[in-house]
C-alpha cells in the first residue's frame, strides 16, 4: 500500500480530511530542463492524479514533443537563467548542451566522454545567443512544491534568480557536479551552501555517476573506476524547523517524499507533526501501511549508463 491509499483510506476518516484541505491533488512540480530521457522520477504522482507539471525545455524539437503530452503537463520553451542574453553551447549529445562552455581540459581526462573530438558528447558544434528568463519574473504563474532542475552546470544561477520560488518549495532535486565539467560552474558545495541559506537541508544523493581516467576503460565504459563526477542531490525544507511548514505543506511534503523518493521515515515525521496539530490519525495509518505493504527504499546508486 502506498501513501496514496493510506491517506485516502475512508475507514480512517482521513478521506474527508483531505477533501477539506484539497492539498494532495494540487502538488505543483517545476521541471527545469525537462528533456524526455525516460520515465520521470515523479511519474507516480502524475499517475495518481496528485500533481501538475510546468516544465522548461528550450530545445524546440524536444519542447514540441513534450507539448504533445497534454494532461497535467504544461511546457514552456524558455532558457532559465539570470534574465540576460547568454551563449548557448550546442553539443553533439543534446543532453550536454549548456549555457556554460564545456571544460575540455578536464573532460578529456576521462574515458567515454570527450569535448575536443567531434564524436565526443561534450563537443560543441555551435554557439547561439539566447534570451534567458528569471524564475521569479514568471510568478505567480510559475510556483512549485517540488523543483527538479537539470541544466548542465547552470542550476545555481537559475535558483539564485528564483529565490521566491525556491523558498516556497518543499523539496528540490538538482543535478550537481563534484568537479567543473563546465567552465565557471558552481559545484555541489556551492549549491548546498546557497540552499542552506534559503532554509533547506541536504537529504540524500541518487544516481551518482563517474568515469575512469584515461587510458583506463572498465568493462562498462560508463562506470567509474574511482572518480565520481556528478549526481542527483535531494534537498528538503529544514525538518528541524517544522513551524515553517504549514498543515498543507506537511501533507504535500509527505506525499512527495513517499511517492517520489521513498523517504518513508521522513514522510512519517511530517505526518506525525500533522497529527499533533490536527488531532488526526494519519501517522499510525501510514506506519501500518508500511508494515503491511511493499517498502523499497531509494538509496544512492552508481549510474553506469550513457
Confidence (pLDDT) at 73: 94
CB atoms within 10 A of CB 27: 26
Q: Does 9 have pLDDT greater than 50?
A: no
Q: Are strands 51-56 and 79-80 parallel, antiparallel or unpaired?
A: unpaired
- Tens of pLDDT along 24-80? 558 999 999 998 777 899 998 888 787 899 999 998 888 888 988 888 999 999 999
* Number of Cβ within a 10 Å radius of residue 277: 12
pLDDT above 60: residue 279: yes
Q: Is the pLDDT score of 171 beyond 60?
A: yes
Grid-cell match 541536504, residue found: 202
What's the pLDDT score for residue 5? 53
Delineate the domains of the chain, giving CATH numbers in brackets: 3-83+133-292 (3.40.50.150)
CB-CB contact of 172 with 203 (8 Å): no
> Residue 96 carries which DSSP code?
G
Q: Which tens digits make up the pLDDT trace of 190-238?
A: 999 999 999 999 999 999 999 999 999 999 999 999 999 999 999 999 9
Question: CA–CA separation, 271 vs 306, rounded Å?
Answer: 38
Helices (H), the chain: 3-7, 14-21, 43-47, 60-67, 104-107, 155-160, 163-168, 188-197, 247-259, 264-278, 282-292
Q: What Rg value do the Cα atoms of the chain yield, rounded?
A: 20
pLDDT at 138: 93
Amino acid at each position: 500500500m502506498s501513501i496514496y491509499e493510506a491517506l485516502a483510506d475512508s475507514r480512517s476518516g482521513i478521506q474527508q480530511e483531505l477533501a477539506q484541505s484539497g492539498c494532495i491533488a494540487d502538488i505543483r512540480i517545476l521541471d527545469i530542463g525537462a528533456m524526455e530521457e525516460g520515465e520521470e522520477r515523479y511519474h507516480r504522482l502524475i499517475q495518481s492524479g496528485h500533481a501538475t507539471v510546468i516544465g522548461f525545455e528550450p530545445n524546440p524539437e524536444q519542447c514540441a514533443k513534450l507539448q504533445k503530452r497534454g494532461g497535467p503537463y504544461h511546457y514552456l520553451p524558455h532558457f532559465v537563467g539570470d534574465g540576460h542574453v547568454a551563449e548557448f553551447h550546442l553539443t553533439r549529445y543534446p543532453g550536454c548542451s549548456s549555457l556554460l562552455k564545456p571544460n575540455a581540459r578536464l573532460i578529456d581526462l576521462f574515458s567515454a566522454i570527450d569535448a575536443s573530438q567531434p564524436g565526443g558528447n561534450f563537443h560543441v558544434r555551435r554557439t547561439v545567443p539566447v534570451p534567458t528568463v528569471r524564475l521569479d519574473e514568471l510568478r505567480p504563474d510559475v510556483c512549485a512544491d517540488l523543483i527538479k532542475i537539470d541544466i548542465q552546470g547552470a542550476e545555481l544561477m537559475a535558483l539564485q534568480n528564483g529565490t521566491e520560488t525556491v523558498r516556497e518549495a518543499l523539496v528540490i532535486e538538482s543535478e550537481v557536479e563534484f568537479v567543473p565539467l563546465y567552465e565557471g560552474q558552481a559545484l555541489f558545495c556551492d549549491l548546498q551552501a546557497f540552499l542552506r541559506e534559503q532554509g533547506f537541508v541536504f537529504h540524500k544523493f541518487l544516481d551518482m555517476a563517474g568515469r575512469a581516467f584515461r587510458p583506463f576503460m572498465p568493462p562498462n565504459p560508463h562506470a567509474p573506476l574511482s572518480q565520481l563526477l556528478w549526481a542527483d542531490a535531494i534537498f528538503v525544507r529544514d525538518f528541524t524547523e517544522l513551524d515553517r511548514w504549514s498543515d498543507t505543506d506537511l501533507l504535500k511534503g509527505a506525499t512527495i517524499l513517499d511517492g517520489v523518493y521513498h523517504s518513508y521515515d521522513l514522510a512519517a515525521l511530517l505526518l506525525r507533526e500533522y497529527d499533533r496539530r490536527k488531532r488526526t490519525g494519519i501517522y499510525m495509518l501510514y506506519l501500518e501501511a508500511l508494515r503491511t505493504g511493499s517498502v523499497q527504499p531509494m538509496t544512492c546508486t552508481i549510474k553506469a549508463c550513457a
